[in-house]
Amino acid sequence: MKNFRNLIMALLVLGTMAACGAQTKVVRVYPKHGTVVTTIHRPKVVVHNKTNFYFADGIWYKVRGRRYVVCAAPVGIRVRTLPRGHKIVWRNGRKLYSYKGIWYKKTGRNFVVVTV
């Protein structure tokens, strides 16, 4: 009887852990270009060709009034860090970094947006 109780308790603990693990999965979708948002969580301001771009969670924005518009990453813009979840890819003998369709090349301490 004691072994049966221990078995049931172990199954309950494993079931609870599996249920909790299933709830923590987050699916991130890159928003379409032109999507307008009102707030950005901890953006980094990057100036490129005298234009301010905002970079947060791997997504690039431009300011329009009091709102932010999702835009394409400008080629040649530099960032210090890449977003979480980036992939390392070898293309034509070059080591590149990819995140949601945006390609980066490491140059010194920075990462530069490039076309592939």
Give the Cα separation of 46 and 67 in Å (integer). Answer: 17
Instruction: Name the residue with tokens 């080629």.
Output: 75
Over residues 30-67, the pLDDT tens digits come to 788 899 999 998 899 999 999 999 999 889 999 999 99
Give the Cα separation of 10 and 104 in Å (integer). Answer: 47
pLDDT of residue 58: 87
Asked whether the predicted pLDDT for residue 27 surpasses 70, the reply is: no
Rounded to whole angstroms, the maximal C-alpha distance in the chain is: 76
pLDDT of residue 70: 95
Percent of the chain with pLDDT over 70: 84
In this prediction the pTM is 0.70
The amino acid at 29: V
Asked whether the predicted pLDDT for residue 21 surpasses 70, the reply is: no
